[in-house]
Amino acid sequence: MIKRKKKALGVALAATLAVSLTACTTPSSTGTSSTDKATTTAAATTAAGTPSSNKIDTSEFQTISYVMLGDKPKNGQFEKVMEKLNAILKQKVNAKLEIKWVEWADWQTKYNLLLASGEPVDLITVATDWLDTWQNAQKGAFQSLDKLLPIYAPLTWKEVPPENWAETKYKNQIMLIPEDHYTQWVNHGFLYRGDWAKEFGITAPIKDWETLGKYFQGVKDKKPGVMPWDPNGTSGDIAGGYINSHTDAIELPVSTGMFGLIYGKSYDAKYTAYSPVFDDTFVNFAKQMKEWGDKGFWREDVLNYKGDNRSELEAGKSSVDQHHTQTFLGERTKMDKLQPGSDLQFFPFSSTRNNLVSMSITHGGTSIGAKSKHPERALMVYELIRQDPEVYRLMNYGLEGVQYVVKDGKRYRPDGYDVQRDDFYTDFWGGRVDKNEIPDGNDWVGKGDLYASYDKIKKAYPYGRFVFDKSPVTNELTAVTQIVGQMGPAILYGKAGDPVKAVNDFRAKLKAAGFDKLQTEVQKQLDAFKTTIESSK
């Protein structure tokens, strides 16, 4: 959720960029590497910052896998872009990139099983706040990058400052490369139609759940054939959103599955473990969800539904979508075309109390798999994706002239662009950088004001260096997570009967599973973390 400022790399880094990318290019009259010329000289920087020359043997052609979260594109454009991208990778580092997709259907289970399987994957999309990075690090899923980065990704090594590398360490070893040079906000909320809100008499921006309920009722009463909200019942974000709107608690990086149970009490009491599930907050939430479910604000079979709510919003068949600021900005532009006059607006959960906490710099990142057979070449490929403007644009935007054109320094869709035929994406969220971005010429005009409003109230994320060691409570954490998965969905979507009884039953099950021991251990580790932070000041 943090807005990160573009960092100037300076003359020295620019020179390093020129040297490194030139050095990584294998000369060939055909534009492809040849065996007898495939040993390249790469500029490297030691941990002490002293330039050195290292002979890097790239004579063996290697295929590098990259684990991405998302559904593989099916219109053929992905293959066309990758063909060109891989031609460049072959020329520069004698390698080929293959995306290994973890599709959105049951993505969390699939992702964690893949990392636990011991399969020799190379590059892996990671995130400490939503992809269980520290838990997977504890299981030995990743390689240490301390010795590899200065040699095989020297530009990135220099670009990321020491204080940011410090937030990527587990047991004092670097586990991931952070996406720390990319400006974005991923604080969640509801996207809703401003035109319909005004039609229902809601003239001010929605900033609370009560007004959101009035909006839903207006849709129910006046928009036949439109579902107020059409979630699929597998997302737990609504629980965290309600807690964000009604308390000052900050969720801790302690994964309990569908939604978090353990928070820091507030920004001022950030080292005090607290669970809103065990006070009136969660009871009130359950009552609200039961009321909304009974009113038909979502479909009766919500717990079994597997549809795409965002597509329904775009088609005028749903009135909201629940996601984050970056999604809102993209959908705002899209909805202006698909639903002219819709005036898409955003209700950030934090707007109720102005308690916005910046995103961790490790919300996105890239690790190397523990069983990777080619960690050195994998880092060289990553370095090109992040640092080489041509490779970066292919990875993020596709083919110029097909997926985009550049006019006056901004990016637009070409004339005749058809989203079904021409759309392309890789879901690369592990190393975007502002310096290589081409601004979108169709960005919503209100984007700057929205970011500025966030900057006025944001507070720094306090748990970037907090790594919860679950080993003392592995059994309890597993049992608690299972109960969240079993009982949580019905409570979250008003399908658990009497909400007070449902929450009490949920609490009792959590207690029997060892929740108190789990929270006590979290508090113990927060105390130690507080001591470490305060001693470092």
Is residue 483 left, alpha or beta, with left meaning phi > 0 and alpha meaning psi from -120 to 50? alpha
Residues 6 or more apart from 211 whose CB is under 8 A from it? 202
Residue with tokens 């910052």: 49
Question: Across-strand partners of 188?
Answer: 324
Domains of the chain: 10-184+362-436 (3.40.190.10)
Please tell me the least confidently modeled range out of 49-58, 71-80, 434-443: 49-58
Tokens describing residue 127: 């995130």
- Does position 414 have pLDDT exceeding 70, yes or no? yes
Q: Which of 183-187, 209-213, 226-230, 370-374 has the lowest mean pLDDT?
A: 183-187
pLDDT above 90 as % of the chain: 82
Helix (H, G, I), strand (E, B) or coil at 43: strand
The DSSP string of 163-207 is HHHGGGEETTEE--EE--BS-----EEEEEEHHHHHHTT--SPP-
Contact 324, 185 (CB under 8 A): yes
Taking the C-alpha atoms of residue 15 and residue 372, their distance in angstroms, rounded to an integer, is: 31
| pLDDT at 507 exceeding the cut of 60 | yes
Q: Which residues pair with 277 in a beta bridge?
A: none
pLDDT in tens, 158-176: 999 999 999 999 999 999 9
List the structure tokens of 361: 């710099």
For 32, other C-beta atoms within 10 Å of its C-beta total 12
pLDDT at 45 > cutoff 90 = no
Angle at 194 between CA 193 and CA 196, to 5 degrees: 70
70 contacts 101 by C-beta, under 8 angstroms: yes
Q: Give the pLDDT confidence of 203-256 residue by residue, as tens digits.
A: 999 999 999 999 999 999 999 999 999 998 888 999 999 999 999 999 998 989
Higher pLDDT among residues 270 and 5, named by residue:
270
Q: What angle do CA 169, 113, 277 make, to 5 degrees?
A: 75
Instruction: Name every residue whose Cβ is closer than 8 Å to that of residue 174 and which is 6 or more positions away in sequence.
Output: 144, 145, 146, 149, 165, 168
Mean pLDDT of 325-329: 95
Q: Which residue has the tokens 């097909």?
A: 402
Average pLDDT of span 377-394: 98
Q: Are 348 and 325 in contact (CB under 8 A)?
A: yes
Contact 466, 529 (CB under 8 A): yes
pLDDT of residue 105: 86
Residue with tokens 């849709």: 219
- Tell me what pLDDT residue 53 has: 35
Produce one character per residue of 261-284: b if its CB has 16 or more CB atoms within 10 Å, e if not.
Answer: bbbbbeeeebbebbbbbbeebbbb
Residue 205 pLDDT? 97
Burial class (CB in 10 A: 0-12, 13-18, 19+), 161: exposed
Strand, coil or helix: what is 31?
coil
Dihedral angle at the C-alpha atoms of 410, 6, 147, 162, nearest 10 degrees? -170
Q: Sign (positive/negative) of CA torsion 131, 136, 141, 144? A: positive
d(CA 253, CA 256): 9
CA pair distance 308, 330, nearest whole angstrom: 16
**Beta-carbon contacts of residue 25 (< 8 Å; ≥ 6 apart):** 40, 91, 92
pTM: 0.77
Q: What is the mean pLDDT of the chain?
A: 89
Q: Which pLDDT band holds residue 48 (cuts at 50, 70, 90)? A: very low
Tokens of 430: 């592990």
Q: Classify residue 473 by its DSSP letter.
A: G
Q: Which of 44-58, 195-209, 481-495, 502-516 has the lowest mean pLDDT?
A: 44-58
**Is there a contact between 281 and 261 (Cβ–Cβ < 8 Å)?**
no
DSSP 8-state symbol, 440: B
* Closest C-alpha among 182, 61, 68, 46 to residue 122: 68
Calculate mean pLDDT across residues 399-418: 96
pLDDT of residue 537: 66
Question: Which pLDDT does position 54 carry in this prediction?
Answer: 53
- Write the single-letter amino acid at 10: G
238's tokens = 């609504």
Provide the CA 389 distance to its chain's centre, in angstroms: 23
What is the reported pLDDT for 379? 98
Give residues with Cβ within 8 angstroms of 300, minimum separation 6.
none
pLDDT at 8 over 60: no
Residue-level pLDDT at 235: 86
d(Cα 466, Cα 146) in Å, to the nearest integer? 19
The pLDDT of 6-27, averaged and rounded, is: 34
- Confidence band for 465, pLDDT divided at 50, 70 and 90: confident
